[in-house]
Amino acid sequence: MRDVTGEYLEMLDSFQCDLELAKDPADPWGLDELQLKLEQGDERLLKDFELLSHLVYGLRYDKIKIMQKEEADGESSSLQPAAASGD
């Protein structure tokens, strides 16, 4: 078994950032821009989609597991995202 976290973390972080920007009505960057990047064959974005497909396949067919570390007291650590600045 090997840790593949790093292989997927950057891709997930990029998608999370893209989607946060797309949902902000004050930001000119949106889903239309994402669609345009796909149509223009944006290499980074297409690579991320391929990696996402690999992750989903691995999870679905039990080839990849996502593990959550437990705290010293046996409780699961909180997975609350950091508050966005300006909130």
User: What are phi and psi for residue 21, nearest 5 degrees?
Assistant: -65, -40
Question: Residue 31's pLDDT is what?
Answer: 78
Tokens 């080839």 sit at which residue? 63
Cβ-contact 50, 7 below 8 angstroms: no
Q: Which amino acid is at 32?
A: D
Tell me the domain boundaries of the chain.
Answer: 7-60
pTM: 0.68
2-48 pLDDT, tens digit per residue, is 888 888 999 999 888 888 877 877 777 777 788 888 899 999 989 99
Contact 30, 22 (CB under 8 A): yes
Query: Per-residue pLDDT tens for 41-84?
Result: 999 989 999 999 999 999 999 999 888 888 877 666 666 665 54
